[in-house]
Each structure stands twice: as C-alpha cells, then as structure tokens.
Amino acid sequence: MQRRTFLRSTAVAALAAVPLTTSLSGSASAADVPVATLAQLQSAINSAAPGDRIVVADGTYTVPSGSAINISGKNGTAAAQITIVSKTRGGAVLRGERGFVLSDSSNITVSGFSFRQSTTMEIPADCSSIRLTRNDFQLADNGDPYWLVVRADDSKIDRNHFHNKTTAGIFIVVDGTGKTAMAQNLHIFRNHFSDHSFTGANGGEPIRLGVSGRALSEANAVVEYNLFERCDGDPEAISVKSSKNTIRYNTIRDSRGGIVLRHGNRSVVEGNYLIDGIDGVRIYGNDHRIVNNYLSGLSGRALVIGSGTTRDHNSGETPDQRTGNDACDRAVIVHNSLIGNTGSLSGETRAYEPQDVTVADNLLVGDAGSLVAMGATTGFTWQSNLLWGAAADGNIPAGGFTRADPLLSQGADGVLRLSSGSPAIGAATLAGAAVADDIDGDQRGSVRDIGADEYATAPALRHPLTTADVGPNAA
C-alpha cells in the first residue's frame, strides 16, 4: 500500500491565516497616541477614533481605589480597531483595585500589559469583538476568585499568560446574559496557563465554559492551541458546561486537570495532547465527538464515558437537578491513542448508564490493570480497536478489538507514533467516520490507520506545544 508523505490538514493552513500580531514596537503611525500617565491614558481613550493606537509608556500604574480606566461607548471597526498597547510587552504594569473597565464598546484591542490588579477583569455582554492579546495575568492571589470573565460575543483571548494562583478561583470564566445564555463565538487560542496550585477538591479550573444553568445553550466557542502546565487547582483544566464547543490542538502536561465535558451537548474534543498528568478526558451529555486525542502517562483515569444521575438535562429541571451528571449518549469516540496510563478506558456506576456510544479505531496500550473497565452500558458499538501490553483486555466485547503489537516508535518530541509494518496501518473500519486528518496534521485519506497517528514518513506538522508556541511572545 502506498503511503502519502506530503498531504497535510487544511486546519494547519487555516491557522496560518489567523492574524498574529498587534505590533508593540516599530515606527509610529499617524494614529499613534503616546501616553505616560493614567490621566493621559483616560483622555486618549475618551478621544479615540477607529484606527487609533494608544501607546502606554513602560512603568507601573497604580489605579486608585474606587477608580478605573474606563473604555465606555468606544467603537472601532473590524478593519480599524481601537488599540491600547503597552510600549513593550509586559512593560506597562497595572496595579491597584481595577484596571480596564469596558462597557458599550466594540472592536477594541488591549495588548501587552502586565495585569496585577486585585479584582476581576470583565468583558461585559454590552460589548462585542473585544480582543485581549499578549498580556500577562497574575492578579492578586487574595483578590477576586475569577481573573477574567467573558460575557461578550465575538471576543478573542490570545497569546496571554495566566499564571501563579494558589487560592480557589478560575483564570477564565465564560458566561452570558441572564441565567441561561452563553457568550457566542469566543476564540481562546495560543495562551499559556501555568501553575495553578490550589489544593481544594474543586474550584480551580484554568478555563470554565459556562455553568450548570447555561448547559443547554450553544456557545460555539473554540479553544485551541493552548498550553497548560502544572494546572493542579481542579480535576478539570478545561471545564465545559455549555453546548456546541470545539476543544482542539491543546496540550495539557504535568497537570491534575483534564478536559471534561461536564454539562452540555454536541461538543468536539479533537487532536489534544494530555501527557504525564492525572486526569484525561471525561464526557457527559449527548452527541459529542472525541477524535485524534493522545493520552499518555496519566496516573488517573485516561478516558471516562460517564454515567448519570439523570438521562438528559432539560429546561424544566430545578437548579439542583441541573448540577447532576447526565449520562453520555450517542458519543463517537474514534482514532484516539491511550498509551501507558494507569486507568485507560473506563466507565462509572451512576443510575443512568451511557447509551449508543461508538468506540472504534482506537489504540489502547498499557502494562497494568485493565485496558477497558466499563460499567453498565446499552447499545454500544465496539469496532476495530487495537489493544496491546501486559494489561488485561478488561470487559471490551470480543468482537470489538484485536490484540497485536502496534510497533510504536518514539519521536524527538516524545510522542509514540506508528512505525513501518504496524498492524494499525490501514486497519480502521468505521464507515462514515469523516476524520480528515490525524493529530499530526497528516491527511488520513480513504484508508485510515488505527489510533491518533496516521503513519507517514514526512515530519509531523503538529506536535505537543511548548512555551515557545504560546504566550505573549508567540508568533
């Protein structure tokens, strides 16, 4: 069989088309407005017009108690943003109770600041198209528990560093108007989340998309190409409590938290690396798609197909009922690699078992315990999974797998991929899987391989992210 070597995913090309820079240096333009005091900054904001670029001199700016830097009633355009930027990245440090307070504004970019304030920064629902880029967030550790709350539609949070929190609270909370709506079309990408060391059982997520009462609302958020390191404040590094979101191409390393579809329906978890941490991917709700993920070296549960205290959440529930788990129904779990985890693929024992889930074309490798340890299930489809290692097969149905050495080879990036002659090559059988590429960005073609990796001889285009790929100085 001839293997392709040069085809690559259109997703990689699409990423290259994302606008990357808000310049923080270089020659001034006619619209540049230099400021060096809080009073000058406020005056420049009050007078700003589309296309203006307010450049804040390096230094520490302490906002007096009860005051703020107000961005109110200011509207740039998609082609001519109003930009407020630190002269050098991280050079303008904002201290005090509050920093920027937005209201009734759109097409505003805030870039390059070091936020050291003590209260939550908010992008409220009466704003839209707000971008926070290349900032450093380390708010006062004894201040408000939430560092950034997003309620506005069409916001972008990119190339920031959120780090060093020891108390309960969340780096980014996404909400909406009222009690049930969600902010629409949020894009969170190329951020670095690190060192959340809260030791409690719950309440220290880096990202929470929604909350129980908003679970049935579609958000259409995309969380991609973010790096999470030492995020130990909660078992959920990315906690999804809303519907129709995409979580893709992120790397979670050395962290307690994993990716959890806690509430909501119709989300996609694709192409993520979860390496050398504790928890992996856990899913509840209906019609999710879990594809091309690489879970390795996890000491907890790698992939959990959740049971529920209810079959489905609905609009008539009480608040207490909504906080319970709803069983995972009709998920498609395909082309994932689970390698060297303490707990591989498992279920739970709540009253409502998961139903009608497809588990196909996955690679499970381990040397301890059982590779599959499901609780009660109904109507599952098990197909073309490949198992290997000293671990027991577990309770996977006999017709749903084969056992053979996948002939894995470790790359320079530490990832175990298929090598020539692997029995995984060309062995995927799930019809209609519609998996265009693999975790590396290689096209799968019409004959697909088992696991997250499609065998190729050309170098991978996607790898586990490093600090060079994310944060204020990323490309």
pLDDT in tens, 140-153: 998 899 999 999 99
Q: Does 325 have pLDDT greater than 70?
A: yes
Instruction: Using pLDDT thresholds of 50, 70 and 90, give the confidence band for residue 29.
Output: low
Which range, of 21-35, 62-76, 288-302, 417-431, averages the lowest pLDDT? 21-35
Provide CB contacts within 8 A for 402, sequence distance 6+.
384, 385, 386, 387, 423, 427
Q: Does 30 have pLDDT greater than 90?
A: no
Token pair of 117 as six digits: 């304030």
Instruction: Using pLDDT thresholds of 50, 70 and 90, give the confidence band for residue 18.
Output: very low
Cα–Cα distance, 132 to 108 (Å, whole number): 9
In the chain, what are the domain boundaries? Answer: 10-22+134-469
Q: Does 191 have pLDDT greater than 70?
A: yes
Token pair of 22 as six digits: 């808000």
430: nearest Cα among 383, 387, 364, 380: 383
What percentage of the chain exceeds 70 in pLDDT? 94
What integer is the mean pLDDT of 408-433? 96
Strand partners, 132: 110, 157
Query: Residue 275 belongs to what H/E stretch?
Result: strand 273-275
pLDDT for 122 equals 98
End-to-end CA distance of the chain: 38
pLDDT for 433 equals 83
Residue 319 burial (CB count, 10 A): 9
228: nearest Cα among 12, 465, 473: 465
465: nearest Cα among 191, 256, 198, 265: 191
pLDDT for 452 equals 98
Bridge-based pairing state of the strands 301-305 and 332-334? unpaired
**pTM score of the predicted model:** 0.94
Cα–Cα distance, 153 to 186 (Å, whole number): 7
pLDDT for 3 equals 37
Residue 173 burial (CB count, 10 A): 22
pLDDT in tens, 242-258: 999 999 999 999 999 99
The answer to whether 108 and 52 are in contact (CB under 8 A) is no
46: nearest Cα among 58, 33, 57, 59: 33
What integer is the mean pLDDT of 425-438? 94
Q: Does 45 have pLDDT greater than 90?
A: yes
